[in-house]
Amino acid sequence: MDYKLVEIDPKNLNEFNWEGFHNLRRILHDEVTPDDPIQSDEVAEHNLRIQLKSPEFDVFLFEIYSSSNDFIGFCYYGWFKESSASYENNKSLGTCDITLLSNFRRFGIGTSILKRFYTELKSNQKEIIMGGSIYPASVKFVESFGGIMGLAGSVNRLTISDLDSSLIDKWILDGEATSPDSKFHVFNEIPEEYIERVADIMTETLHQIPMDDLEVGQMIFTPETIRQREAEIKLMNKISLTGIFEESNGQLSGFSNLGYSLDLPEMVKQGLTSVREEYRGKGLGKRIKAIMIKELLKINKSVKFIDTDNANSNAPMLAINERMGFRKYKETYQFQIKLDELEKRITQKSGVVII
């Protein structure tokens, strides 16, 4: 099937086909999460403009059109900027995504685009492509190019009406008894006196989360990257809550973050929750998650759901979430393809001609 790609400057989206993008966004929403609320076109457009100006990544964005000039999808590839604190540990990694309307899948368009992306990534000294998907068919597609589904996970959802408040109270009380010196703080923005320590615990504990077979290097958080993210959150009209436990020696032992968009306060996203290894076994993980839910309910009376992403191999966090009432909502797949292996496979694929 013939198609064409139109490259778009991600830092100047005035020429982007917003009508086609929003139509695609609504179709995919109905395909995957039809019962969830959807962001307005105005908010989605505003947020995408901000996200694509990230100081951490170089992104190359394309619109996909059919032979009859209909907008049928978009795609991108990219990598960490050399100025990123995480670049040195991940300089061989690239990322890509190909999103198509369902009736244009399985016609070789994705294969052809991947061939083009391979050329660009290889010429920029990348060795591995990483990406993610919520579609099971992606597994076979990736494997056909010698890739692996390196990390199987899921989005787990807590329905607030099912929350057991007595269990939440118990976890807090039990945690106070076993770790009475652990002092809790919660912030919308990290104060200067804590920002170095927050960056340290995020860097250290994120590296301890299971990555299974993904060959991803350590992500480095700095005060600058945290401030950049806080600025993006403010521009996107979102609320972020960060909770920490501080020990008597000044070290941070636990961390948790959650947030939501003010235009969709009923949908909350639980981010990283972590406890330093030397402080585990004292109920800090359960305690900080319980306190964070209480803090959330103080300021957001509209929340209906809390979603969180978990690796299926992260048994300790899955156990806490299940006891809290989180249930699997949808599967997620994180893949990687080594470019040397991809090079062997793409010569065997017929593909289609890019026009």
Length of the chain: 355
Q: What is the longest distance spanned by two Cα atoms in the chain?
A: 68
Q: Where in the chain is the domain with CATH 3.40.630.30?
A: 3-152+334-346, 164-324
Q: What is the pLDDT of residues 305-317, one digit of tens each?
A: 999 999 999 999 9
Which of 224, 203, 307, 310 is CA-nearest to residue 259?
A: 307
* Secondary structure E strands in 265-311: 267-275, 305-311
Q: pTM of the full predicted structure?
A: 0.93
Beta-strand pair 238-246/128-133: unpaired
pLDDT of residue 353: 34
131 φ, ψ to 5°? -170, 180
CB distance 82 to 119 below 8 Å: no
* CATH code 1.10.1240.10 for 164-324: no
Tokens of 328: 């699997």
- Containing H/E element for 324? helix 315-324
Residues of 239-276 as b/e, b for ≥16 C-beta within 10 angstroms? bbbbbbbbbeeeebbbbbbbbbbebbeebbbbebbbbb
Residue 136 has pLDDT above 80, yes or no: yes
Report pLDDT digits (tens) over 219-275: 999 999 999 999 999 999 999 999 999 999 999 999 999 999 999 999 999 999 999
Pick the CATH number of 3-152+334-346 from 3.40.630.30, 3.90.1570.10, 3.40.50.300, 3.40.1790.10: 3.40.630.30
